């Protein structure tokens, strides 16, 4: 599983809104890949939208694949204070949920 494979999949499979469970599976969110902006758009359950650049996605992807054990599916592992350098303190935890969906569907 590589970042380039993930982006290639996203560019083909997530161009329309997809509804997915969050990491804790207690809520749902929507996401799609915007080809023009080359970014992942996340819409939370309150309807707020956030865009994550390829650079941000790459950092979150790297953190996901190197996460120790049970941390991989904990939202707080992708935000501050556990990850002070998070590329987006609100939207970052949605990407590991998308990555889990990708890994399970491939």
Cβ-contact 76, 24 below 8 angstroms: no
Q: What is the pTM of this model?
A: 0.94
Cα–Cα distances in Å, from 40 out to 31, 37, 46, 62, 71? 7, 8, 18, 16, 23
At 8-58, the pLDDT tens digits run 999 999 999 999 999 999 999 999 999 999 999 999 999 999 999 999 999
Please give the tally of structural domains in the chain.
Answer: 1
- Displacement of CA 68 from its chain's centroid (Å): 17
pLDDT of residue 70: 87
Q: Which helix (H) or strand (E) holds 4?
A: helix 3-13
Provide the domain limits for residue 38.
Answer: 3-105
At 83-95, the pLDDT tens digits run 999 999 999 999 9
């Amino acid at each position: 599983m590589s970042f380039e494979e993930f982006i290639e999949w996203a560019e083909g499979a997530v161009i329309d809104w997809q509804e997915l469970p969050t990491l804790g599976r207690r809520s749902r969110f929507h996401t799609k890949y915007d080809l023009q902006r080359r970014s992942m758009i996340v819409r939370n359950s309150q309807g707020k939208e956030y865009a994550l650049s390829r650079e941000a996605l790459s950092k979150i992807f790297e953190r996901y694949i190197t996460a120790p054990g049970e941390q991989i599916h904990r939202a707080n592992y992708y935000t501050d204070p556990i990850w002070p350098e998070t590329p987006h303190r609100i939207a970052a935890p949605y990407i590991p949920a998308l990555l889990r969906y990708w890994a399970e569907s491939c």
